[in-house]
Amino acid sequence: MVVSVKVFKKATPNGKVTFYLGRRDFIDHIDYCDPVDGVIVVEPDYLKNRKVFGQLATTYRYGREEDEVMGVKFSKELILCREQIVPLTNPNMEMTPMQEKLVRKLGSNAYPFTFHFPPNSPSSVTLQQEGDDNGKPLGVEYTIRAFVGDSEDDRQHKRSMVSLVIKKLQYAPLSKGFTFSNGKISLEVTLDREIYYHGEKTAATVQVSNNSKKSVKSIKCFIVQHTEITMVNAQFSKHVAQLETKEGCPITPGANLTKTFYLIPLAANNKDRHGIALDGHLKDEDVNLASSTMVQEGKSTGDACGIVISYSVRIKLNCGTLGGEMQTDVPFKLLQPAPGTIEKKRSNAMKKMKSIEQHRNVKGYYQDDDDNIVFEDFAKMRMNNVNMAD
């Protein structure tokens, strides 16, 4: 059976230069990051001694576009790496299997390129806007672009420039479980594991031992998304899933209760909620809540830059008007399942990352006939409210 390989493409407005990418999502494995590997095709006789230059850029927007007045900008663009793509500066560069296949398919006017993310660069994150806010969303976004010029400092003309929005994501490492307890009313919250995958139920087992004179009237459960915008040192938290129950209540003095609560944190249940952090999405059907920020062993999330995301299960015991509330938080990680795991196969994320799975894990099809490449216009993958450069 021949496996079709989906390849994303986008051309300049004048149609003379075209980008080809085998995937849109590039994975940060903590100790290394996938390179951005693709191919550019230039029409014959178009350059006339000019060159094609490429850039990997990130835009960090930390304030609303509508608040930008008097020349004050609430975004920063950084060029992470740049290089000359055409003519090749290194004709003997080592190509990935996908690049080799594309070059064979597209012919002598196809030129491979490779960009590398700098160490500790942040993951792609988008903060969801209010329904009537049509400005550019807050977050971290990555773009690769190519333009024609005599030098890399030449003015970039829209008619001969092409850019693609890509995503930098993280996968889950191995996990472990833990518990937490707090207060005279003994509240112990146990998660069955430290890491959950997008779309999975979180299972929080709550054990309450009431050694006080108060009665517990009800129990509230939340999944909380914590967001830190490092540029402006701002922090806030949002509930992304919640429930309240009186089952087993009241828990009177001297009584105990053990119960497991299930919650599913989904982006679909938080549509149009301002400030919810998303995984730098490019189309409606593949949007997830932003994944937890992962750092190398020996470092803390305080060393991370961009937008730092974390999650916790929050349990609140309502002890009535006079008794007040008692709460505790148990942190966990919400991530993409790693390729090759059982969870990955069971997850809806498999559909999103199919091209990555094929590119990394299926070696044989690169040696098949080149006719199994399926080209898809990159512009079709955009959300309507994402403003991509021409």
Instruction: For residues 166 and 203, state if they share a domain.
Output: no
Phi first, then psi: what are they for 307, rounded to 5°? -115, 120
CA-closest candidate to residue 58, choices 310, 307, 390, 308: 307
Over residues 150-155, mean pLDDT = 84
Q: At 147, which CATH number?
A: 2.60.40.840
Note whether 293 and 184 are same-domain residues. yes
Residues 225 and 155 occupy one common structural domain? no
Q: Please give the share of the chain, as a percent, with pLDDT higher than 70.
A: 80
Verify that 124 and 216 share a domain, yes or no.
no
- CA dist 153 and 195 (Å) reads 45
Mark which of 173, 188, 221 sits at the end of a domain. 173
Q: In this structure, what DSSP letter does residue 13 have? A: T
Same domain, 166 and 193: no
Condensed to tens digits (0 to 9), the pLDDT of residues 311-351 reads: 999 999 998 887 788 889 999 999 988 766 655 555 544 44
Domain assignment present for residue 353? The answer is no
Q: Which helix (H) or strand (E) holds 9?
A: strand 5-11
pLDDT of residue 282: 57
Q: What is the DSSP letter of 33?
A: B
Instruction: Mark whether 35 and 151 lie in a shared domain.
Output: yes
CA 3, 169, 299 angle in degrees (round to 5)? Answer: 140
In-domain check, residue 385: no
pLDDT in tens, 1-32: 455 678 899 999 999 999 999 888 898 887 78
Give the structural domain span for 306.
176-337
Q: Are strands 373-377 and 5-11 parallel, antiparallel or unpaired?
A: parallel
Residue 113 pLDDT class (50, 70, 90 cuts): very high
Place of tokens 């890509």: 166
Query: Taking CA 102 as the corner, what is the angle to CA 340 and CA 96, rounded to the nearest 5 degrees?
Result: 50
**How many domains are contained in the chain?**
2
Mean pLDDT confidence for 148-175: 83
Interatomic CA distance for residues 142 and 122, integer angstroms: 10
Shared domain for 122 and 262, answered yes or no, is no
CB 203 within 8 A of CB 260: yes
CATH of the domain at 264: 2.60.40.640
41/129 same-domain check: yes
Question: Residue 208's pLDDT is what?
Answer: 92
As a whole number of angstroms, the distance between CA 150 and CA 136 comes to: 32
Q: Which of 150, 173, 196 is the last residue of a domain?
A: 173
Q: In what order do the strands lie in the sheet with 373-377?
A: 110-115, 36-42, 17-21, 5-11, 373-377
284 to 275, 280, 335, 362, 382: CA distances (angstroms): 17, 11, 19, 27, 9
User: Domain for residue 362, yes or no?
Assistant: no
pLDDT (mean) for 92-111: 90
Residue 356 domain-assigned (yes or no): no
> For all residues of the chain together, what is the average pLDDT?
81
Shared-domain flag, residues 194 and 302: yes
Q: What is the pLDDT of residue 369?
A: 54
Domain termination site, one of 137, 155, 173: 173
Shared-domain flag, residues 65 and 160: yes
- The C-alpha atoms of residue 331 and residue 198 are separated, in whole angstroms, by 16
Same domain, 229 and 83: no
Asked if residue 146 and residue 23 are part of one domain, the reply reads: yes
